[in-house]
Structure formats: C-alpha cells, structure tokens
Structure 1
C-alpha cells in the first residue's frame, strides 16, 4: 500500500546563495510512502498524515545548503518514526529559484528502500 502526500507547500531557507538563507522561499514536497499491504482500520497501524506533516515542518525549520541533504534527513526521520515503512520516494521542488530569467521549478527526487 502507498501513502501519498502531494503538493505540500512549505517555506524554508535552503540553498547555497546567501539571499536564499536570508529571505527564504517556498517549496513543494511530494511523498510516496510504501508500507505493507495489510488491511488496516486503525490509525495506529498505518502512517498518520498529520505526524508526517509535522515532521516535514520540523525538517524545513532547519537550514540546509542542498536539497539532497534535506531529502535524506526527511527520509531518515520518517524511517525512524514509522517502523512499517518499506520504501519512500520524496520530491522537493524549489518554486522560485534564484536563477535570472528562469521560469519554473528546480528540485531533487530521491528514493530510500528500507530492509
């Protein structure tokens, strides 16, 4: 079974440019969290979206130079918190990157398989 959190908007001070660390910018996060296929009817037996969102907010409150590091930190924290995770895919997009004349988003997508 996959748990999806899509198009989550978060604000952070991530990036290698000093201005990014000073004024910050918005990011869009997409998560796919795979757990076992067991039928569940209790929140304690699955992934609580609210707890995932809180974890994302905590991760975004700390400044990282690279989105790759931020993605790894988020995946590691999720695996620590939720033992039933088998696989995670995260995409972090910087909505307004500081690139002259650039229109669009830049970002990273990473996967983590849990044994």
Structure 2
C-alpha cells in the first residue's frame, strides 16, 4: 500500500482539561500517515485521481481549531474518524497530535497521542491491531 504523509502541521486550538487552556489556547502539531493506492494518480498526473492534501488540511484545521475537547486522545480520534470518513480511498490512517506545552511544571518536548485506524471490510472505522 502506498503512503501519503503530512508532517507537523501547526494549528492553534483551545483544548484541555484546565480552564486556562480553553481560554489561552496553544499550538498543536498534527502528523498524518495515510495508506492508500496512489498508482492511478502517479500515472495520470491528475489531482482528481488522488486525495488532495490541501483538502485534508482543511478537514483537520476545522477540528483542531474548532470546538474544544478536554483530551488530545479525543482530538486525535476525531481527526482519524473525519479523514477516513471523508476520504473512502484512504484505507488506513496513523494520526499523531502533539501538545508541546501542557500547563504543568515539566520540561519536555510535549505529549503526543498516536492512533492507528483503518476501514474494515464492512466499511467501519476500527483500531489497527498489530
């Protein structure tokens, strides 16, 4: 299966458990690793034969910059479900969301949640089992 990878897309959102997170907001970094068949697009050189990554960006932006959620686990799930639900040619998606500045006294590069989801034979979106 082919891959389309969108790396470290930056958004500004208001997610978090603490009220100051919802009030002040912060940057979030999103990575997408999408599995799909790109052979037709590779041969045709036609954007209509692929998944337009500018459109994927718009879908993700609406979620991350939209209504706040408490957990980045929830945010990550919403992104995975929206991408797979919107683009039926995508078979599997690995979505990572990094919150670089959680509001507590710790020095590190942030916390990342990574989820892998796929479309099963019935068309339902399910976790990927290793």
TM-score band, normalised by the shorter chain?
over 0.9
1:13-28 alignment runs, 5 A limit:
13-28=14-29
**Uncovered stretches (5+) of structure 1, i.e. residues with no partner:** none
Q: Secondary structure at the match of 1:99?
A: coil
Deviation of the 1:103 alpha carbon: 3.0
**Over aligned residue pairs, what C-alpha RMSD do you find?**
1.2
Instruction: Could you list the structure 1 runs, at least 4 aligned residues long, displaced by more than 4 angstroms after superposition.
Output: none
Q: Which has the higher contact order (CA 8 A, sep 6+)?
A: 1
68, 78, 83: which one aligns with 1:78? 83
Q: For this pair of structures, how many residues does the alignment match? A: 115
- Distance in 2 of aligned mates of 1:111 and 1:28: 17
Give 2:49's aligned residue.
45
Deviation of the 1:56 alpha carbon: 1.0
Q: Secondary structure at the match of 1:47?
A: coil
- Distance in 2 of aligned mates of 1:107 and 1:16: 16
**Uncovered stretches (5+) of structure 2, i.e. residues with no partner:** 121-130
Give 1:95's aligned residue.
100
CA contact (8 A) 2:84 2:118 kept: no
Higher mean displacement: 41-50 or 5-14:
41-50
Cα gap change, 1:36/1:98 in structure 2, threshold over 3 Å: closer, same or farther? same
TM-score (norm 1): 0.93
TM-score (norm 2): 0.83
